[in-house]
Amino acid sequence: ETGVTQTPRHLVMGMTNKKSLKCEQHLGHNAMYWYKQSAKKPLELMFVYSLEERVENNSVPSRFSPECPNSSHLFLHLHTLQPEDSALYLCASSQDQASGLYEQYFGPGTRLTVT
């Protein structure tokens, strides 16, 4: 049990659908992250939130929209996705946003398939 949960675990959606991924951390951390994991590629950092404020957006297309209503919850809203967006989406949290100093803990991920 990592203390970071994600729902749903699997999601299949069409290109015109709108869906949301949810992440919750039970570790009392102040920072939360969204990563995209594709086959044979390094983990790609998408968004970083620190104390509910977005501090990084790595040139992610606008069809991905994050939301952080409080320090324990993180959402990723999806709309008009492309097949190449199919991947494992991982949520992580750390004690502080300075991840160079604090360990990141990952959730189990949401396997997204865009048809």
Partner 1 sequence: GENVEQHPSTLSVQEGDSAVIKCTYSDSASNYFPWYKQELGKGPQLIIDIRSNVGEKKDQRIAVTLNKTAKHFSLHITETQPEDSAVYFCAASRPDKLIFGTGTRLQVFP
Enumerate binding residues for partner 1 (CB under 8 A). 2, 4, 6, 40-43, 45, 48, 55-56, 90, 92, 97-101, 103-109
Instruction: Kindly tell me which of 1 and 84 has the beta carbon lying closer to partner 1.
Output: 1
Pairwise CA distance, residues 55 & 27, whole Å: 20
Beta bridge partners of 22: 7, 75
Instruction: Kindly tell me which of 3 and 14 has the beta carbon lying closer to partner 1.
Output: 3
Instruction: Kindly tell me which of 71 and 104 has the beta carbon lying closer to partner 1.
Output: 104
Q: On the CB side of 109, how many CA atoms lie within 13 Å of its CA?
A: 13
User: Which residues neighbour 42 within 8 Å (Cβ) at sequence distance 6 or greater?
Assistant: none
Residue 16 Cβ vs partner 1, minimum distance, rounded to whole Å? 29
Residue 15 Cβ vs partner 1, minimum distance, rounded to whole Å? 26
Spatial contact of 21 and 99, defined as CB atoms under 8 Å apart:
no
Residue 45 Cβ vs partner 1, minimum distance, rounded to whole Å? 6
Residue 108 Cβ vs partner 1, minimum distance, rounded to whole Å? 5
Pairwise CA distance, residues 98 & 85, whole Å: 28
Instruction: Kindly tell me which of 17 and 105 has the beta carbon lying closer to partner 1.
Output: 105
In the numeric block, which tokens belong to residue 31?
């920072």
